[in-house]
Amino acid sequence: MDRPAAGSGGRPGRALSWTVVGALMVWPAGLVTAATSHGPGATPDSVNYLAGAESFARSGDVLMVNGNPMTLFPPGLPVILGSLLSLGVDVPTAAVVLNVFAVAAMVALSYALARALGLPRLASLACTAVVAVSKATLFVHAYLFSEPLFSALVLVTLLLVVNGCRAGGFSWPRLVLVGVATSAAISLRYLGLLLIPVVVATVFGVLLPRVGWLRAGARAGVAGVVSSIGLVAVVTRNLSLGSGPLGPRTAGVVSPLDVLAQAMTALGDYVLAGRLAHLAPVVGSAVAAALVASVVVALVRRDPRALTLAGFAGLWWVVLAWSELTTVIDPIGARLLAPALTPMVVLIGYGAHELVRAPAGRSRRAAVRRPVVVVAGVALAAVLSLPVAGSVEYARNTSRWGIGFSGVALQRSPLFAAIAGLPPDAGIAMGYPERLYWVSGRTAAGTVPRDDHWFPPARQKRDLAILRDKIDSGVVTHVAFYERDATTLKPADLVAFGLRLELLENFEDGALYEAG
């Protein structure tokens, strides 16, 4: 049986706690609304989600900007946005509304998960506050990404499983709900498949001592099968389209030390919110140590609830590190860690609580615990002031200037105004072709390679050769260089490779060339 959580009052305490949770839900929801006043933040991934939604609303197919079927990402988000588009809701508006609801749900689910793990109300509220005020939470939910809805579904799945552990069993309806939530998560992001082994192992481990191997295995098997429906659906779709099971992948070029540095910096940024950036790796190492210590506590306590979160967080880190080493994906940061943020925060809260909890009859430890809790509370309040300030500053700046491709500068760009004046049959190549689609709905005819994480030298040479062929064949007639694309290869680089360019006009934010 679960021991009663310390600090569990009655209904008045419960009502007050949820009032605080409600206030914490409003905080990021309001900041996301303000930050996206010019539209949701947009990156190349966001534009492909937009193109996928528009193609789904138009024809039922989920296509990327280049017209190819979307297999790099699961089709879940474009299908949702495309369905809303069919009802008359434009995609940027739909994305903002979904993200606002998702961030509010994330906060509420964080509190519910902490309570289900046995944390007292005050500790649960502290964990919830860490998630709610994090600048990373605001950042991720201000973009047209799949992470907001995916993170909420991950928390729904983990909460259902942890509550099953708390109840000491898994009814058939609960198993079906767990499976549906997991499958829905996988339809949004492939990494949702990590929930499947966590669900199966937890269900089997909790039921084994109660009902024996056969019945425990049967229920765990059902949970695994239902949870795998989403995975089977996306893999079958990808294979039928001639792609790999989880879409096309490019070999990675980073080293283990690079991945470790990314991870520690990302964890440190959660605390520092971009301030004192030089201290991020040190602070991140401390957070990582606290996380590892909490996993050890969960193992010592043999608490299946905490082990569920530890299993998910551990798998997330292992697969994320492996993905960084083997494929080209975004560097580890707020976006990739978003789905694991709440499990990590709650797990650290669990570890801290278990370490300071005073067992019955040990009055000396009980006397020592109060000042420790007070000092920890003051320290937490001081630490939270950094992300609070960072979030307010971020929302203020983005509400004024926009985010990513939704930026005011891009909407007022003289270069893009000139591009809009080109004939409809003009073929345009540029550094971020997705940007052109977001601004004008026009599909670029080619890509100017970049010198960054996503374009190692081999890919640069390959894409330069492709661009040269498109220019020679007349597919690309114009090449645009936007000054904000700091890593895009310059005109001299293209000419040195043998491309023929003639300057048409310089603008304050870039230049337009005629090709061929």
The 3 state secondary structure assigned to 271-286 is HHCCCCHHHHHHHHHH
**pLDDT value of position 374:** 66
Spatial contact of 516 and 471, defined as CB atoms under 8 Å apart: yes
Predicted structure pTM score: 0.92
Q: What is the mean pLDDT of the chain?
A: 91
Burial of 473 (0-12, 13-18, 19+ CB in 10 A): exposed
For the cut 60, the answer to whether the pLDDT of residue 70 exceeds it is: yes
Q: Which of 45-49, 77-81, 421-425 has the lowest mean pLDDT?
A: 421-425
Q: What are the structure tokens assigned to 2, written together?
A: 């679960």
Task: Indicate the pLDDT class of residue 457, thresholds 50, 70 and 90.
Answer: confident
Average pLDDT of the residues in 267-293: 89
- Would you say residue 367 has pLDDT above 80? no
The more confidently predicted of residues 275 and 159 is 159
pLDDT score of 252 more than 90: no
pLDDT score, position 319: 96
What confidence score (pLDDT) does residue 360 get?
Answer: 47
pLDDT digits (tens, 9 = 90+) for 146-178: 999 999 999 999 999 999 999 988 999 999 999
pLDDT of residue 272: 85
CB atoms under 10 Å from CB of 218, counted, come to 13
Residues contacting residue 153 through CB under 8 Å, at least 6 positions apart: 181, 182, 184, 185, 188, 192
Distance CA 191, CA 102 (A): 18
DSSP string, 408-445: HHHHT-HHHHHHHTS-TT--EEES-HHHHHHHHSPPPS
- E-strand ranges in 301-418 read none
Using CA atoms, how far apart are residues 296 and 341, in angstroms rounded to an integer? 19
- Asked whether residue 6 carries a pLDDT value surpassing 50, the answer given is no
- pLDDT value at residue 9: 55
Can you give the pLDDT at residue 458?
A: 85
Predicted confidence band of residue 370 (pLDDT cuts 50, 70, 90): low
- In the prediction, which pLDDT does 381 show? 74
Q: How high is the pLDDT of residue 63?
A: 97
What separation, in Å, do the N-terminal and C-terminal C-alpha atoms of the chain show?
A: 76
3-state secondary structure of 291: helix
Q: What is the mean pLDDT of residues 436-447?
A: 94
| CA gap 387, 136 in Å, rounded | 9
Q: What is the pLDDT of residue 358?
A: 52
- Spell 38-47 as b/e; 16+ CB within 10 A means b: bbbbbbbbbb
* Mean pLDDT of all residues in 466-484: 95
Comparing 231-245, 333-347, 443-457, the range with the smallest average pLDDT is: 443-457
Query: Worst-scoring range by mean pLDDT, 288-297, 363-372, 391-400?
Result: 363-372
Mean predicted confidence (pLDDT) in 17-35: 96
- Percentage of the chain beyond pLDDT 90 is 80
Mean pLDDT of 15-20: 91
Mean pLDDT calculated for residue range 268-284: 85
DSSP label of 4: P
> 346 pLDDT exceeds 60?
yes
